[in-house]
Structure 1
Amino acid sequence: MNQWEVHKQLFLEYLQIEKNASPLTVENYKKDVEGFARFLEAEAVAFNEVDYPAIRVYLSQLHQAQLSRKTISRKLSCMRSFYRFLEREGIITSNPFLTVTLPKGDKPIPEFFYEEELKPLFLASDITHPLGQRNQALIEILYGTGIRVSECTSIECADIDFSLTTVLVHGKGRKERYVPFGTFAGEALRRYMEDGRQQLLSRSGAAADRLFLNSKGGALTARGVRMILDKLVKEAALTVDIHPHKLRHSFATHLLNNGADLRSVQELLGHEHLSSTQIYTHVTKDRLRNVYMNSHPRANK
């Protein structure tokens, strides 16, 4: 194993153990480091001799490959972290990637449901059957808490606190947070846990701790959640597209539209940086503008 491979492996272990990075982040960083290694080999540049001109050539090749600004930014961020690690370990004396500015990506406007669009979805499940009870609880939790689909599928029964009406969410980077849920979600959860879930669990019992189970009694996956949402849309006779993150976007948008402050929404969503939450402010700006244009006596002739 050459020096690069040794340092790469130590860096990945550092991400997992010290930084508590998610498996997806570790895998992406692994691919990015390996991609940069191939670039260095093709250009005959040693990893400890990388300088600004070499990085410019690397950037040029990324642009020629027609990668998005978001992807390029991630790759540069990865290499900056990798070389920071090498500097910390005393393998290099300075980080050459500190001289490079990360490209700013365009922040897409998040898709969300209007409140009226959501109402048919909450009426689509047949709550006299176990799967209908599960589906009702699932959509109430996704919209009622704004959690990510990966966070939703990892919920265990012990994470639900009916007395405080909160759920313990295991977020990115193994960070935990408590998120409250409302009356509708509480009723749907209690019905499902006391009735439908018990029936589903009896079919397997393999996922005794997980809250949301599939039709065979095993743990529900993220893919399974997406299939359930697609089914609910069809049963509600809606023509809209749906995905779990759209419910998360709707959760944040509706909170802000009804007067919630940005910091509280940030905490509920589990965003590390406020800038991640600020993508939702466009909605409140549009709403305020409409209110102004329709209400102020000097807004229109």
Structure 2
Amino acid sequence: MGKKQKELIHLREKQLANGDISLYLDIYLNGKRKYEFLKLYLVASPKSAKDKEKNRATLQLAQAIKSKRLVEIQNNEYGFSSPTKNQTNFLDYFSTLTEERKEEKGNYGNWASALKYLRQYCDESMTFDDVDSSFVEGFKNFLNDKKTKSSKFLSQNTQHSYYNKLATCLKHAHDKGLMQTNPTKSVKAPKPGDPQRDYLSFEEVRALTMADCKFPIMKRAFLFSCLTGIRWSDINKMTWSQVQDFNGVPRIVFRQKKTQGQEYLDINEQALVYLGERSKPDERVFEGLKYSAWHNMELSKWCARARITKDITFHCGRHTFAVMMLDLGADLFTTSKLLGHKHIKTTQIYAKVLDKKKQEAVGRIPSLK
């Protein structure tokens, strides 16, 4: 009997300081040893079904990379090339990348939503061997034709976001050696739309202060948002301990729910009035504030009583504040900091809104003839 050939590649584990387990390849060829860290991680001592499933998918991916590396070594050694079939489950792989972003809040939500639509689009048993440019083009068209529960088509920005998640996943798989080519290279990505920013003028906000609202707590919270730019999610969880005094100036100290950024927002006395009477530090400022279709309907009715015909949501309070600041002369950088934007290009969208206002104003000049 011939001598058994020594295995060239071993999949090994390394315990990290945070308790997770890092996977890497131990490659020994021609008397030389090389380590390839895969940037794949296992949950140590998994207890929940979710963690166990994540570990199973991660190990499957690591084994697939190991097999790919072995084929590459054989091809180089024997001088032939042959396309390999990759049986790694596509949705399992995408799910693993999604779970890795669980601490990223908003980004995780976008990945989870993209995964939901991918599960609707393709078969659960699909592998990377089935993923090609036709699959990518098909998903793009699927998003374009898809309607939400409210019978509305997905916005351009939503389509752009979900497509990008697929593109990121396939690039990751290609970089890991699971795909010979990246199929997104030959597909034109959907363009992001120019997002519409509905907002109220100062006169419209003033009209709301004088109009009746069925829910006084909602009225106070919305007007507070118009004067501070704080999102509903942060207003809803705001406690009195976050309302502080800084050298005689009222200040809201909070961590944004969406971005997790720590904010120190100075507010004026007018906004302070809408907070109401101060209570215990751990109690909510807007106790009783709720979000529902019923409350959204009342917001619309309240606007109608103020003779406002725009389609206004609670988030429009934030848009109103942004446009108001720029209209009153605040520069982009200052407005960006007041809104807690990480990138000033996000704030520049509101500058475009002001440009349209100027164009409309110029258009009102009466004819000279």
Cα distance in 1 for partners of 2:339, 2:290 equals: 21
Counterpart CA distance in 2 for 1:61 and 1:33 is: 9
Distance 1:281 1:104 in 2: 21
CA contact (8 A) 1:80 1:98 kept: no
Instruction: Name which of structure 1's ranges 286-295 and 105-114 shifts more when overlaid on structure 2.
Output: 286-295
User: 2:108 matched to 1:29?
Assistant: no
| Alpha-carbon distance, 1:76 to partner | 1.0
- Residue 150 of structure 1, aligned match among 230, 233, 244: 233
AA of the residue aligned to 1:114: S
Classify the secondary structure of the residue corresponding to 2:122.
helix
Pair 1:265-2:348 in alignment: no
Q: Is the 8 A contact 1:22 1:172 kept in 2?
A: no
Which amino acid in 2 is paired with 1:86? A
Summarize the Cα distance change of 1:143–1:20 in structure 2 as closer, same or farther, 3 Å threshold.
Answer: same
Structure 1 residue runs without a partner (length 5+): 199-206, 215-219
**3-state SS of paired residue (1:104):** coil
State whether structure 2 residue 264 is matched by structure 1 residue 178.
yes
Alignment deviations for residues 132-188 of structure 1 (CA, whole Å, 9 cap, x no partner): 4x4554133211111221222122222222334222242314333232221111133
Deviating more after overlay: 166-175 vs 139-148: 166-175
Alignment match, 1:279: 349
Distance 2:300 2:99 in 1: 38
Code of the aligned partner of 2:262: E
1:83, 1:95 within 8 Å by CA — same for their partners in 2? yes
Is 2:256–2:262's contact at 8 Å kept on the other side of the alignment?
yes
- Pair 20,58 (structure 1): closer, same or farther in 2 beyond 3 Å: closer
Q: Tell whether the 8 Å contact from 1:135 to 1:228 is kept in structure 2 after alignment.
A: no
- The partner residue of 2:183 within 93, 96, 99 is 96
2:143 equivalent to 1:56? no
Once the two structures are superposed, the pairs formed by residues 221-300 of structure 1 within 5 Å of their partners are 221-223=290-292, 226=296, 229-230=299-300, 232-233=302-303, 237-240=306-309, 241-289=311-359
Match of 1:73 in 2: 160
* Alpha-carbon distance between aligned partners in 2 of 1:157 and 1:231, rounded to the nearest angstrom: 30
Q: Deviations over 1:116-138 (max 9, x none)?
A: 11113224479xxxx74x45541
**What secondary structure, in the 3-state scheme, does the structure 2 residue paired with 1:212 have?**
coil
Q: Does the CA contact (< 8 Å) of 1:11 and 1:85 recur in 2?
A: no
For the Cα contact (< 8 Å) 2:250–2:267, is it kept in 1?
yes
d(CA) in 1 for partners of 2:240, 2:333: 28
CA separation of 1:260 and 1:11: change in aligned 2, threshold 3 A: same
Say if 1:56 and 1:27 are closer, same or farther in 2 by CA, change over 3 A. Answer: closer
Instruction: Determine which structure has greater relative contact order: mean sequence separation of CA pairs < 8 Å that are 6+ residues apart, divided by chain length.
Output: 1
Q: Is the 8 A contact 1:22 1:174 kept in 2?
A: no
CA distance, structure 2, for counterparts of residue 285 and residue 110 of structure 1: 13
Q: Scaled by the length of structure 1, what TM-score is found?
A: 0.71
Q: Is the 8 A contact 1:156 1:209 kept in 2?
A: yes
Residue of structure 2 equivalent to 1:15: 101
* Counterpart residue type for residue 77 of structure 1: N
Q: 1:63: how far off?
A: 4.3
Cα distance change, pair 271–105 in 1 and its aligned pair in 2 (3 A): same
Q: Tell me, yes or no, if the aligned pair for 2:244 and 2:251 is still in contact at 8 Å.
A: yes
Q: Which has the larger radius of gyration?
A: 2
Higher relative strand content: 2
Maintained 8 Å contact 1:16/1:26:
no
2:157 touches 2:195 (CA, 8 Å); kept in 1?
Answer: no
Paired letter, 1:222: Y
1:210 aligned counterpart, secondary structure: coil
The whole-number CA distance in structure 2 between the counterparts of 1:158 and 1:90 is 51
Task: Please report the RMSD computed on the Cα atoms of aligned residues, expressed in angstroms.
Answer: 3.7
Aligned to 1:165: 250
- Tell whether 2:128 aligns with 1:47: yes
Using the aligned pairs only, state the percent identity. 21
CA distance in 2, matches of 1:22, 1:277: 19
1: distance between equivalents of 2:264 and 2:232?
16
Given that 2:121 and 2:142 are in contact with CA atoms closer than 8 Å, whether structure 1 keeps it comes out as no
TM-score (norm 2): 0.60
Greater share of helix: 1
Q: Is the 8 A contact 2:111 2:165 kept in 1?
A: no
Stretches of structure 2 lacking an aligned partner (at least 5 in a row): 1-52, 58-87, 148-152
